Structure 1
């Protein structure tokens, strides 16, 4: 593996990696996967794998938590919304809960499609930043493929969550925002310290893993040094974190 301050290695002249090999190497040798994208940016199998895992996760949520419980748990994260619900007449509260349950269910089942659209937006954003800011000359197809393969990290989190649910996780503690204890927010009371909770929530091992992989990916398909690429992605992420934290402070 290249050091943080060096340009990417030369593209191998051997055969292209198969898509299963790329999926595996995303976790164990990401440089190999991302460098291979310079010769071919096929991504459909990685997306299919992620979609299958997402539906395993959704099945676990539906069977072990239930959509009404999920909706209630999500509302508890917003004390003002929960308070408004409590003040509603029973009929209006039941109607609002029914609408919330339907929304949660439909969004969950549509998640792979939504994720694909969000991936396209991020692919275009990073392509523009690296191309115009650093002369990287990364095509949209390659940028999209990088983001699809990096998205496999989220699939690992979803799979671990599904296993935890089947193993007996307390359904009253489950939320889509924060399904497992992979960040520091579990040590902060969301109602007492909403801004600190939001910041701690961002310090998530899977999110940090994603940030690092994105930097590695863009360095491997361009002449941007690895440390620079990771720094760019990390900087954008920190701006997002600080903005989200500031909003919770008011």
Structure 2
């Protein structure tokens, strides 16, 4: 082994110590050490940056905590505020009636029923809606975990990324905050305007062309409601997040996410064609 020569400088330093300091200055910083010099973001800052500068939020997730308690809490609270407003301004009975009117096949079937049978169908609709509301936190986390698994497989095996499941789950939770803004907009519209004749939880505000169709069902409705301002915004943010935590170009992250968006839209259109 070749030893470094021990050279003494006039100020008392040795050549070895000087060499070590020089090597430390010249050594390239690794990805793990780059962000540690900067303070991490707070949970509130992460939420704000999700809307204003999503790359900051997701870079912080990549190198630091994957805590998702705050976004999950905000999503649950936002959904309950919206549900309470709909139940107050529209009412569960009217919501059940809207669900029937939005489905031509169900509406046609109801027209041939007696008054008692119609009341039974409406009661079943109300029970189903309330169950969905109460079970929302668990359902949201389960579906979020499932879609995270899809994204994890796509960015890692399809695009050669290096994302961990935990970081992608955090991306999913923070990206889902975009959907809350749509619910809050729908809540505002419920209180400042009269509710429309047909009001559904699935499409509560006119941020897509499908909202303005006469019948809230069918393949065309399913397609047009999917081309929604907030939904596209959410998927772009998710694409940015997937790219950052997987250490991929942003373009690849967005492509990976929109592959699944396309598949979901095709499934919705196919389901609507089969059952409407």
TM-score over 0.5 for the pair: yes
The structure 2 residue matched to 1:160, chosen from 185, 191, 210, is: 185
Instruction: Tell me whether 1:222 sits opposite 2:227 in the alignment.
Output: no
* Counterpart position of 2:237: 213
C-alpha displacement of 1:189:
3.4
For residue 202 of structure 1, the aligned residue among 204, 222, 226 is 226
Matched, 1:12 2:35: yes
Is there any run of 5+ residues in structure 2 with no aligned partner, and where? 1-30
Query: Paired residue for 1:142?
Result: 167
Deviation at 1:179, TM superposition (A): 0.5
For the pair 1:36 / 2:60, whether they are aligned, the reply is yes
Distance (Å, rounded) in 2 between the aligned partners of 1:85 and 1:164: 30
Q: Pick closer, same or farther for the CA change 1:217–1:109 going to 2, 3 Å.
A: same
- 1:78 Cα offset (Å): 1.0
- Structure 1, residues 101-153: CA drift from partner, whole Å, max 9, x if none? 11111212321221111111111111121122223222221111111001101
Give deviations 1:158-198, integer Å, cap 9, x for gaps: 1111111111332523211110000011343337x822222
With normalisation by structure 1, the TM-score equals: 0.90
CA distance in 1, matches of 2:154, 2:219: 29
Aligned residue pairs total 241
Structure 2 counterpart of 1:3: none
CA RMSD of aligned residues (A): 1.9
Q: Distance in 1 between matches of 2:141 and 2:271?
A: 27
Gaps of 5+ in 1: 1-7
Matches within 5 A, 1:112-131: 112-131=137-156
CA contact (8 A) 1:11 1:35 kept: no
Quote the Cα distance in structure 1 between the aligned partners of 2:115 and 2:225: 34
Larger Rg: 2
Could you tell me which residue of structure 2 aligns to residue 67 of structure 1? 92
Matched-pair contact (CA < 8 Å) for 2:101–2:198? no
- Residue 46 (structure 1) aligned with residue 71 (structure 2): yes
Deviates more, 1:132-141 or 1:119-128: 132-141
Q: For residues 34 and 165 of structure 2, what CA distance do their matches in structure 1 show?
A: 19
Indicate the structure whose relative CO is greater, using CA pairs within 8 Å and at least 6 residues apart.
1
**What is residue 10 of structure 2 aligned with on the other side?**
none
With over 3 angstroms needed to count, the CA separation of the structure-2 counterparts of 1:143 and 1:103, relative to structure 1, is same
> For 1:186-201, what aligned pairs fall within 5 Å after superposition?
186-190=211-215, 194-201=218-225
Q: Aligned in 2, Cα 1:11/1:132: closer, same or farther, shift over 3 Å?
A: farther
Is the aligned partner of 1:233 residue 2:257?
yes
* 8 Å CA contact retained: 2:82, 2:186: yes
